[in-house]
A and B are shown apart, each in its own frame.
Chain A
Amino acid sequence: MSVAIADLLRLLSVNPVYRNRVVFTDITGPTEARYGELGTPLSASLAAYLKQKNIRLYTHQCDAINHLRNGRNVIITTPTASGKTLAFNLPVFEKLEQDPAARALYLYPTKALSNDQLATLEQMDRFTTTGVRPAIYDGDTPQSKRAAIRENARIIISNPHELHQVLSWHAKWRPFFSGLRYIVIDEAHRYRGVFGSHIALLVRRLLRLCAFYGSHPQFVLSTATIANPVEFAGNLTGRSFELVQQDGSPHGRRTFVLYNPFYDGIGDRSAHQETKDLLLSCVKEDLQTLCFTGSRKMAELVTLWAREDARHSSCRLADAISAYRAGYLPEERRGLERQLKDGMMKGIVSTNALELGIDVGTLDAVILSGYPGTMMSARQQAGRAGRNGTDSLAILVAMANPLDQYFMNHPDRFFSRSHEHAIVDTHNPYIVSGHLLCAAAELPVNDSADSLFFGESLSSHLADLATHDLVRKTARGWVYSGRGRAAEAVQLDGIPGPTFRIMHKGKLLETMDRGHAFSEAHKGAIMLHQGVTYVVNEMDLETHTIRVSETDVDYYTQPLKEVSLKIVETTGNRILNDVKCAFGEVEVTETITGFKLKRGDTIIGIEPLSLPPTTFRTKAFWLVPPERIGQKVDAGDLDLAGGLHGAEHAIIALMPLHVMCDRWDIGGLSSPMFGETGEPAIFVYDAYEGGIGLAEKAYDILPCLLASAHELVRDCSCEKGCPSCIYSPKCGNDNQPLDKEATIIILGELCRQPVPATAVPDPAVSPTVSP
C-alpha cells in the first residue's frame, strides 16, 4: 500500500476524534490484470492500432467483442476507466471496415462526453484509415453541414433530444438508417425514471424506422453498476442482452472508509466541518484529493475553511486547495486540470452535480461528503481515485439522514452487490401515447405491426388520440393530423399536463409539473437548483410562471400538505407473512395548505397558502396490516397511527436503496382507518401521472424493502425517532404523529423479524395475541 495512504489510515485509527467516527474500513485488492482471447484475430489495421498504443485486451473487452461478433446485444457494466469504450469501438470499426454501407449511431447524454468520444474516434480513424469520418450531429450543428454529415459520416454521435427531433426527417437519413448496424448508448444508466421511459420509447421509434429501411441494428450499452443490467437494457431497447461485468483491468489496493460524525447519535460537529478536517489531513499527507459535497455553497464553504486552516501551517498548502464549480470558463477549467496534472493542486472540492464535468486524471483519494443518493454515484465518485492501477482511498462522510445512517449501521449493505434497480417504464400511458403521436408523424402507425414496438395498449391510445382529432385512421394506418409538430409537443423530460416554468432574471431555470411546483416552488419557497439557493417571489397560476431570485438565507421551507387517496383498480395482490399487499392504480389528491420555515430542526415560522388541490392518477403499492398487529401495538400502549406513519417514512426513505429514484419521485400516505373498510393501511405511490414503474418494482421486491426499513428503524440508536430513521424532511404533516416503538413492531411484523429485546424493551408480548 502506498505509504501516504497507510499513514493516513494510521492517523484515522489513532487520532481520538477520528478513531470513534470510523465505523468501517473495507480493503480490496490489489488485483492483477486479466487478459482475454478473441475468437478470431482483429484485422491488421486494428491490431496495428492496439500495438501502437501498447494495448493488450482485457477479458471483459474480449467478451464484449466476441458477443458482438456473434450478433448479440451487449451491456457492459465494468467500472469507469476499465476500457469500455475500446470494447465497442473495435467491433464497430471492424464492421465498418468489412461493410462499406455500414453505419453506427452513438448516443451520449452530454456535450462534453460527445466531444471526448469524437476525438477518440477521429484518432482511430486516422490511424486505421477506415474512412469512418465520425461527426457530431446535434442542436449546435450548423444547417449548412448537416446534409454532408448525414451522407458521409459513418459514425454519427448525437443525443436523445436531437434524435427526437430528427426522426420525422427520416427520408433524409435513408442511407444512414438503412445501413445502421450498431447503436451505442453510453452512460445508459442516466436514462432512467421519467427521462429513461421517454428514451425507451424514442428507441422504439428509431427501431421502427430502421425496420422500415430494412436494417436491424445491434445494441451496445454501457452503464455504471446497477442491480438489474440485463432487465434494464431490455426495457430500454426491447431486445435481449448479454451481460459483460467481470472487470479484467488491474487495480491497486482500494481502501473505503465509512465515517460517521453522528456515531454517538448526537454529532456535535457538523458533517461539513468533519469533511474539511479529513480533506486537510489527506492533503497534508500529500494525497491528491477530490471532495464531493451536496451543494455548491457547501463546496465553497469547505474550501474556504480548509484554506483558512491550511494557512496556519503553510500558505503554499492553502493555495493548493480550490473549489471547482459549474460556470468556469474553459480556460479556467483547463488551468485547473493542468495544475492537477502537474501536482500543484492538491485538493479540489466540487458538487455532486459535476461528476463528469472535468478531467481530473489520476487522484489518490476521494471524500464523499454525504451519500450522493445512489450507490451507483457513490461508486463512480470513489472510482475517481486510483486509476491506472495505483492504490486509492475513499471516505464516505455520513449525514444525519436515514440512508446515510443506514449504511453506517449496516456497512455490509454498502459493500455488497448492488440492490439498486434502474427503472424505465414503457407502459406509462402518458409517455406511450406521446410517442405514438410522434410515431404517427413519422410513418403511418399500423395496429398489429407496431404493437411490437409500443405494446398492446397501442390501439386504445390511438382511438383516444383520434377522438381528439390528433390522429386519423386511414387505409395505410393511423396518420398524425394535429396542427402543431408532434415532436415539439412531446418533451423528453416530463409528463404532459400543465408545466410551470421557473424563471430567473428572465431566463428559464427549469420546468416543473404542477404537483411538484405546488409543493416545491410555491410563493416563499426556498429551492435548490444545481447547488444554488433561490427564493420564489411569485407564482402565477394563469401563465404558469414562477419567478425566483438568488438568495443566501439560512433557513429552508417545508410544505404542509393534505393527501387523500382513492383506489381506482387493484391489479396485483399478494400475501406476505399474512399481511395483505396490493398493487394498482390510485387517484391521489394533494392540497398544499401552507409551509413552514425551518432552521435546522427549529420551526421559525408558518405561512398559509391557498392553492387549488392537485389530482392525479398513478401507480401505488399498499399494505394492510392485519388486526393482530394493531392489537400488539395497542397492547404496548403505543400509537398505531404513529407507527404506520413511521413505517411509511422508513419505507420511503429506503426505496432509493432498491429502486433508483429520489424522494421527489415517490409519495406516501398512511392511515389507521382507511376507506370504507376502516382497516389500517400504508400507501406508497409514484409522484407522476400514470406512474413510472417505481412502486411497481418495489412491490416485486417488497420483502427486501420491508426488511431493510425494519433494520433502519430497529438499529437507529435514537430513542423516540430522529431524522436518521423515521423523520422525513418532506413530510406534509410535520412528522406528526410518529411513534418509533410502534413503527418497529409494525415493520417487524411485516417482515416477520422478531423484535430484538436489545433494541427496545418488548412491550408487545401479550398472552391474548398469538398469530
Chain B
Amino acid sequence: MTVMEVSGARIGSLWRQRVDTLQEYEVIRDGNVFAAGFSNSYVCSSEYDRARQYLRELINQYDGCSLEAVFSGGRELVNDGGSCYLLESCEPLENPCFDEDRFRSLISGDLTLVHGIGKSTEKRLKQRGYQTLYDLMEHPRYRTPARRAADCIGLGKPADIMDLIGKRHSKSHPFVLGTAGLHEPGDYVFLDIETLGLFSRPIILFGVGILENGRLIVRQYLLRDISEEPAALMATLGYLSSDHPALVTFNGKAFDAPYVSDRLAYYGMEAINGIPHFDVLHFSRRKWKDTLSSLRLCALEKEILGISRDDDVPGQMVPEFYETYLRSGNCGPLVPIVEHNRQDVASLARLFFRLLGDVCGDR
C-alpha cells in the first residue's frame, strides 16, 4: 500500500499543478481596449496587482481570527440540506415608484400585442379610431384576439402579462420590464451568486435581497466549506417557492439561473421553473449601450447610481480568493467577497428600481 501512497501523492500534486495553470480570465495591460474586446473575461493589470496585494494584506490582517469573530453578525443556519453560515444586513430602500394604472393603460394602447398586427397595421387602425385594445374588441376581424389580450392585461397575473408582451416584443422591451411593476414589492427576489469558476464548480456564496417595510434586507448564505452548498442552495430556493416570486438578477439568464439549476442537478435536487425572471443586464443594455462604454454592474453603479467601491475584489478573482480561504483556513479573503456580493445585490436592486421608474414612474 505504501507504493500507492507514494505515487498517489505525486499524482495529486500533478493535477494540482495542472488545475492551477487554468485561468478563466486574462490579465490585460491597462487601457488595452483592443484586448478587452477580444476576451470575454479580463482584469486590468493594475487592478490585478492591487487585488493580489490586497489578498496578502488580508491574510496578514486576519491571521488567527475565527470566522465567527470576523463575521460577528452572522449565525449558523441549519436546514434539511445541512448547515451554512448566514449573514444579514439591511439598508433603507424605498419601494419603487411605479404607476400601475398608467402602465396598464399604456400597454392597452399597444395594438401590436395582438397576433397579426404589426407596426403599419397598428398605425392604420389607430387612424381609424382604434386607439386601444378595448376599442379593438369592436373590430370585426381582431375582436377575439383583442379580447384575449385585453382580458390578460386587465385581469391576468403579472407573469401572464409578461408572457403576452414577451411573445410580441423583444425580451428587453421596456414593457416586459414594466410587468415587474405589477408585482408586490415583497415579491422581488434579488439574487447574485459567487462561484469557484465558470460552471460545474460549487457556488460559494448566495446573496439574496428582499424588500421589507422600506428596507432592503440582504441575506447571504456563505459556505464555510464546500460541503455546505446543499444547505445554502435549499435556503435560496425557499425564496423562489413563495406565492408570486419575481426573480431579479444581473446577467442571471446567462449565468446565475442556469448555474443554480446546474448545481441543483448536481445534487439531484429538483429545479424550480416558470418564475418570472428580470435580467437587469438586458434592460440596461437596451437603454445605455450607446452611451456607456462598459455595461458591467460596477460600471453602471458608478455611472448611473454614483456609487464607488473601495477595497473590492474583482469578480473574476473571487475564485482564487475563496480558494485561498479554503486551503489556508484564513478568513481574510472572505471579507471582500462577502462585501462585494452584498454591494452587488444592493446595486442590482437600485438599478432595477431606477429602470422600472423610467418605464412608468409615478411622477
Interface positions of A (Cβ within 8 A of B): 168-171, 174, 212, 429-430, 433-434, 437, 441-444, 457, 460-461, 463-465, 467-470, 472-476, 479-489, 496-497, 568-569, 585, 617, 690
Q: Are A485 and B12 in contact (CB under 8 A)?
A: no
CB distance from A275 to the nearest CB of B (A): 45
Number of A-B contacts (CB under 8 A): 137
Q: Are A444 and B266 in contact (CB under 8 A)?
A: yes
Chain B 1-29 interface mask (CB, 8 Å, partner A; 1/0): 00111011111111110111111100000
Q: Are A496 and B15 in contact (CB under 8 A)?
A: yes
11 A-B residue pairs with Cβ-Cβ distance under 8 Å, sorted by A, are: A212-B268, A443-B268, A468-B13, A473-B227, A475-B82, A482-B196, A482-B201, A483-B22, A484-B18, A484-B24, A489-B22
List of A residues within 8 angstroms of B19 by Cβ? 470, 482-484, 486, 489
A473 to B229, CA, bound (A): 12
Chain B 195-206 interface mask (CB, 8 Å, partner A; 1/0): 011111110000
CB distance from B254 to the nearest CB of A (A): 11
| Given A433-B11, A470-B19, A568-B3, residue A483 in contact with residue B196 (CB < 8 A) | yes
Closest 7 CB pairs of A and B: A484-B22, A171-B265, A474-B227, A168-B200, A464-B12, A472-B226, A468-B12
Chain B residues 208 to 247 lying within 8 A of chain A, measured CB to CB, are 225-227, 229-230
CB distance from B228 to the nearest CB of A (A): 8
B362 within 8 A of A: no
B100 within 8 A of A: no
List of B residues within 8 angstroms of A441 by Cβ? 200-201
A568 to B2, CA, bound (A): 10
Q: Which single member of B11, B82, B200, B326 contacts A430 (CB below 8 Å)?
A: B11
B95 within 8 A of A: no
Q: Which single member of A473, A475, A488 contacts B22 (CB below 8 Å)?
A: A488
Chain B residues 152 to 204 lying within 8 A of chain A, measured CB to CB, are 196-202
List of A residues within 8 angstroms of B264 by Cβ? 171
A429 to B262, CA, bound (A): 29
Q: Are A485 and B227 in contact (CB under 8 A)?
A: no
List of B residues within 8 angstroms of A482 by Cβ? 19, 196, 201
A171 to B262, CA, bound (A): 6
| Given A484-B24, A569-B3, residue A168 in contact with residue B11 (CB < 8 A) | no
CB distance from A691 to the nearest CB of B (A): 11
Q: Are A481 and B196 in contact (CB under 8 A)?
A: yes
B38 within 8 A of A: no
Q: Are A442 and B266 in contact (CB under 8 A)?
A: yes
B327 within 8 A of A: yes
| Given A171-B265, A483-B197, residue A474 in contact with residue B22 (CB < 8 A) | no
Q: Which single member of B4, B14, B229 contacts A457 (CB below 8 Å)?
A: B4
| Tally of contact residues, B, Cβ under 8 A | 46
A207 to B20, CA, bound (A): 29
Given contacts A429-B4, A470-B16, A485-B24, 4 further A-B contacts (CB under 8 A): A441-B200, A481-B226, A496-B15, A617-B7
B261 within 8 A of A: yes
List of A residues within 8 angstroms of B326 by Cβ? 469, 481
A530 to B109, CA, bound (A): 68
Q: Are B267 and A444 in contact (CB under 8 A)?
A: yes
A487 to B201, CA, bound (A): 11
Which B residue sits closest to A429, measured CB to CB?
A: B11
A760 to B198, CA, bound (A): 69
| Given A429-B7, A475-B227, A617-B7, residue A480 in contact with residue B18 (CB < 8 A) | no
B357 within 8 A of A: no
A429 to B8, CA, bound (A): 8
Which A residue sits closest to B14, measured CB to CB?
A: A496
List of B residues within 8 angstroms of A434 by Cβ? 15
List of A residues within 8 angstroms of B265 by Cβ? 170-171, 174
Which A residue sits closest to B7, measured CB to CB?
A: A617
Q: Are B15 and A433 in contact (CB under 8 A)?
A: yes
List of B residues within 8 angstroms of A437 by Cβ? 15
List of B residues within 8 angstroms of A497 by Cβ? 14
A707 to B10, CA, bound (A): 38
CB distance from A569 to the nearest CB of B (A): 5
CB distance from A9 to the nearest CB of B (A): 57
CB distance from A472 to the nearest CB of B (A): 4
CB distance from B269 to the nearest CB of A (A): 10
| Given A171-B261, A441-B200, A482-B201, residue A465 in contact with residue B14 (CB < 8 A) | no
Which A residue sits closest to B82, measured CB to CB?
A: A475
B323 within 8 A of A: yes
Most buried by A among B11, B12, B23, B197: B11
B319 within 8 A of A: yes
A437 to B16, CA, bound (A): 11
CB distance from A265 to the nearest CB of B (A): 47
A92 to B57, CA, bound (A): 62
B88 within 8 A of A: no
List of A residues within 8 angstroms of B11 by Cβ? 429-430, 433, 461, 464, 496, 690
CB distance from B332 to the nearest CB of A (A): 17
